[in-house]
Amino acid sequence: MRVRLSVAGLASALSLALLAGCAVAGTRPDYVGTTEPFASDAVYFVVTDRFVNGDTANDHREQGGAHRTFDIPVHCADGIDGNIGYLGGDFRGVLDNAGYIRDLGFGAVWITPIVDNPDEAFTGSREISCTSSLTDRGKTGYHGYWGINFHKLDEHLPSAGLDFAGFTRGLHAAGLKVVLDIVGNHGSPAWTMPERQPQFGQLFDKDGTLVADHQNLPPQQLDPQHNPLHAFYNNIGPVDADKGSIFDGNLAELSDFNQHNPAVMDYLAGAYLQWAGQGVDALRIDTIGWLPHPWWHAFVGRIRAEHPGMFMFGEAFDYDAARIAEHTWPANANVSVLDFPLRGALEAVFGREGKGFEALAEPLHLSGGPYANPYELMTFYDNHDMPRIDASDAGFIDAHNWLFTARGIPVLYYGSETGFMRGRAEHAGNRAYFGQQRVDAAPASPIFGPLQRIAKLREATPALQRGLQVNERLQGEQAVFYRVLQQGDVAQTVLVLLNKGDAAQDFEVRDYLQQGQWRDALDGGSVVVKDVLHAEVPAHGVKVFVLDAPVKQPQLQERLDAAMADQAARTARLAH
């Protein structure tokens, strides 16, 4: 069983550590960004259907009849097409490549939802084009987010002898944790169909009994008081974007769950407890911002009552740190979140815009920020819901050097190890099929090797996983910062030097630098430091020096003590 400190407990522990460090002669203080065990593992994110087709027997290529579900191209003018049908990726395809993912330096795999989705392509909504968004006509539930039975596996994923429990066992045997994507806000598309289609807008229980049906009615025409099949859904009509936030109404004709109905909570919590009991290590919560804080607080409590310490992170697609931070507070969901504000800065720094490292300073929120703990945030630069980052090979390398050394838990979208479909939006190839041939060829990409190198370094270096971050400089093409972990038997200070310029640069570091013998963690050897460290960092390169010794440098101690005090005060404040 994993033990995860409560917010109040962490506040107490941090306060005691500070007091102990100040009051007891010879006792070194704790310097730690997070005690969360999951912080050790970088995450590889796959849209399961689009990764690798490991078993063609579960493709269901004839499914859907007139509204077929397999291989439905979306044509783009430049000839690089998207696709809104199933393409065959499955549990077997992920499991067959577990060694590839593990050897790349990842400790966890995040898969898209596994629950049963409709057996036809949707005929409602607006027509999809290469550049459209929130349009679903002709689209299928290949992505998994259109659940119709949350207790049942989608038939495209398992194979003979390989159910979900077998899949998680296989990944665990390969040294990988399993992150399951879950949806609490909605089911499948529910209205605007020219003629009603089976399963759309419907919900079935574990016995296959129909428990909810939108009946192809717009939400404002539902009658939950008199029709039990409407009671699972909200009857708030769509909100015009010019008159209100889309968060106040329905999203893309999806059946919107009624958060005030206790049966909804029972249904969803029961279903996800079923899957969690089959080997899930963490949960990613889709559209967390669309349901109120008390609902998520109750849901998370029910999951953790049976799975203490279960790590969870939410998707609040919002670039306002103050808003998304609310989900991390103990009075609300008490989970981590995907770091969208930092994502925006990462795109600006490592994409075609090419801003300097200074753009990353503010969204780090290392002190005085709104998050319960910024070191537990999930850091990323793109995903399946936005255009992939438009970067050069060097831009990808620079981004990875940052992601795997700076604060937070890195998340990489499948294919980014080769720059796959860079710059492409959802219907223009963002979710294109990767396939076994591309997996096999990936090591030849100039992006792959540097990613593997820095990912494996993070995996082997506790301070890069859980240590406090102290910035020496974030300016222009140079970033210099420390990561410090001092707790129990671990005393480790890491100095990171990043160069995102096109030429090698000489770095000189004096501030916060402790005397001692620093080992060169990437290139081997060591350097004896007195007052200054000189190093040449290659173009689009990284140097990492490690000192395995307690912190004694006064200015660094001062910064670290302030960081611990800030974290303790923040945690205590949020606990009340």
Residue bearing tokens 């559209």:
287
Residue 289: the pLDDT is 92
CA 488, 490, 495, 498 dihedral sign is negative
Mean pLDDT of the chain: 93
User: How many Å apart are CA 257 and CA 142, to the nearest integer?
Assistant: 21
User: How many Å apart are CA 93 and CA 171, to the nearest integer?
Assistant: 12
Residue 242 CB partners (closer than 8 Å, separation 6+): none
CA 392, 394, 397, 402 dihedral sign is negative
Decide: pTM greater than 0.85.
yes
User: How many Å apart are CA 318 and CA 261, to the nearest integer?
Assistant: 27
User: How many Å apart are CA 62 and CA 446, to the nearest integer?
Assistant: 39
User: How many Å apart are CA 574 and CA 576, to the nearest integer?
Assistant: 5
* DSSP conformation letters of 279-326: T--EEEEETGGGS-HHHHHHHHHHHHHHSTT-EEEE----S-HHHHHG
User: How many Å apart are CA 105 and CA 417, to the nearest integer?
Assistant: 11
Mean pLDDT value of segment 63-74: 98
User: How many Å apart are CA 502 and CA 479, to the nearest integer?
Assistant: 15
* DSSP conformation letters of 240-287: PTTTS-GGGS-STTEEEB-TT-HHHHHHHHHHHHHHHTTT--EEEEET
pLDDT tens digits for 98-107? 999 999 999 9
pLDDT tens digits for 562-573? 999 999 999 899
Strand partners, 507: 535
Q: Are 364 and 342 in contact (CB under 8 A)?
A: yes
* Rg, the chain, Cα only: 24
> What are the chain's domains?
37-460 (3.20.20.80), 468-575 (2.60.40.1180)
Pick the range with the lowest mean pLDDT from 19-23, 381-385, 522-526.
Answer: 19-23
Neighbours of 187 (CB within 10 A): 28
- Half-sphere exposure at residue 220, Cβ-oriented, CA atoms within 13 angstroms: 4
Nearest CA to 507 among 543, 476, 483? 543
Residue 335 CB partners (closer than 8 Å, separation 6+): 285, 288, 296, 300, 312, 313, 314, 327, 328
Mean pLDDT value of segment 371-377: 98
Distance from chain centroid for Cα 28: 34
pLDDT class for 4, splitting at 50, 70, 90? very low
pLDDT tens digits for 489-533? 999 999 999 999 999 999 999 999 999 999 999 999 999 999 999
Distance from chain centroid for Cα 488: 29
pLDDT tens digits for 308-343? 999 999 999 999 999 999 999 999 999 999 999 999
Nearest CA to 373 among 313, 328, 326, 316? 328
